[in-house]
């Protein structure tokens, strides 16, 4: 826990940006009947019936220091999908960085080994050398600030019924453009001192 909190307390360094990464499944849903349009005093009204159109996956990257985020819509959440997201971090999002410090959950797909299962060894090594993984503790994914971004995305953009990945990607792209333009970020307040004070039961007893 303290490892992650120390990262959040670091001053901004463009050569060693700290980014938060995670993924989330999304259920695509199609309307069976057209919703009733809004009227004065009446919100948009949906019929209770709907049609499931399958699922997809959202990969999200969030850089708190600059108030920047990116969301990729993919059909699956495989080891290869993860590897391509890490390649995008290195080559597209932070090409000038010496090392990208990545906060992420300790899932079986979140390993540098996936790079070697996806790319040629030279390419995998090139990408791996620019990544520094820091994993959140078990049952402590709330320490990953991108979880907050997922919550905002759900409330502001994708909480309704969306039938296709194309429409989902378009809606998210509009949301990203507006939110990144605002440089909206998370005012993280929880520190190492707070952890030791409020979560003392998780620390070993002082035996001195």
| Residue-averaged pLDDT of the chain | 89
In the predicted model, what is the mean pLDDT of residues 155-162? 90
Host domain of residue 52: 2-33+46-200
pLDDT at 205 over 90: no
In a domain, 39, yes or no: no
The pLDDT-based confidence of 206 (bands split at 50, 70, 90) is low
* Residue-wise pLDDT tens digits, 146-155: 999 999 999 9
Rounded alpha-carbon distances, angstroms, from residue 47 to 31, 36, 39, 161: 8, 9, 16, 11
CB 188 within 8 A of CB 64: yes
In a domain, 186, yes or no: yes
pLDDT of residue 37: 59
Distance CA 128, CA 82 (A): 13
Residues 6+ apart with CB under 8 A from 179: 69, 152
* Residue-wise pLDDT tens digits, 32-88: 656 545 557 655 555 556 677 799 999 999 999 999 999 999 999 899 999 999 999
Length of the chain: 208
In a domain, 191, yes or no: yes
pLDDT of residue 168: 96
* Residue-wise pLDDT tens digits, 98-147: 999 999 998 888 999 999 999 999 999 999 999 999 999 888 889 999 99
In a domain, 54, yes or no: yes
Q: Helix 146-156 crosses helix 165-182 at what angle (to 10 degrees)?
A: 110
196 versus 68: the higher-pLDDT residue is 68
Rounded alpha-carbon distances, angstroms, from residue 86 to 58, 168, 169: 14, 22, 20
pLDDT at 208 over 60: no
In a domain, 206, yes or no: no
- Name the domain count of the chain: 1
| Rg of the chain in Å (alpha carbons) | 20
In a domain, 38, yes or no: no
pLDDT of residue 52: 77
In a domain, 155, yes or no: yes
Please classify residue 83 by burial: count the beta carbons closer than 10 Å to its beta carbon, then call 0-12 exposed, 13-18 middle and 19+ buried: buried
| Pairing label, strands 100-104, 131-135 | parallel
Q: Nearest to residue 175, comparing CAs of 142, 150, 144?
A: 150
In a domain, 40, yes or no: no
Distance CA 78, CA 175 (A): 25
Please classify residue 159 by burial: count the beta carbons closer than 10 Å to its beta carbon, then call 0-12 exposed, 13-18 middle and 19+ buried: exposed
CATH for 113: 3.30.420.10
Distance CA 128, CA 115 (A): 7
* Residue-wise pLDDT tens digits, 4-25: 999 999 999 999 999 999 999 9
Q: Nearest to residue 33, comparing CAs of 18, 23, 47?
A: 47
Token pair for residue 180? 């990144």
Q: Rounded to an integer, what is the distance from CA 85 to the centroid of its chain?
A: 11
């Amino acid at each position: 826990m303290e490892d992650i909190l120390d990262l959040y307390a670091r001053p901004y360094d463009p050569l060693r940006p700290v980014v938060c990464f995670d993924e989330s499944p999304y259920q695509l849903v199609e309307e069976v009947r057209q919703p009733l349009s809004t009227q004065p005093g009446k919100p948009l009204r949906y019929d209770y019936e709907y049609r499931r159109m399958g699922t997809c996956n959202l990969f999200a990257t969030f850089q708190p220091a600059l108030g920047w985020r990116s969301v990729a819509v993919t059909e699956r959440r495989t080891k290869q999908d993860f590897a391509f997201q890490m390649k995008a971090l290195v080559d597209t999002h932070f090409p000038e960085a010496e090392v990208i410090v990545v906060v992420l959950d300790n899932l079986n797909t979140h390993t540098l080994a996936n790079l070697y299962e996806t790319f040629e060894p030279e390419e995998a090594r090139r990408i791996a050398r620019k990544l520094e993984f820091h994993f959140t503790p078990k049952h402590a994914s709330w320490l990953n600030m991108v979880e907050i971004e997922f919550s905002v995305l759900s409330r502001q953009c994708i909480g309704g019924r969306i039938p296709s990945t194309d429409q989902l990607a378009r809606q998210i792209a509009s949301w990203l453009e507006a939110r990144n333009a605002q440089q909206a970020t998370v005012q993280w307040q929880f520190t190492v001192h707070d952890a030791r004070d409020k979560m003392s039961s998780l620390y070993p007893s002082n035996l001195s």
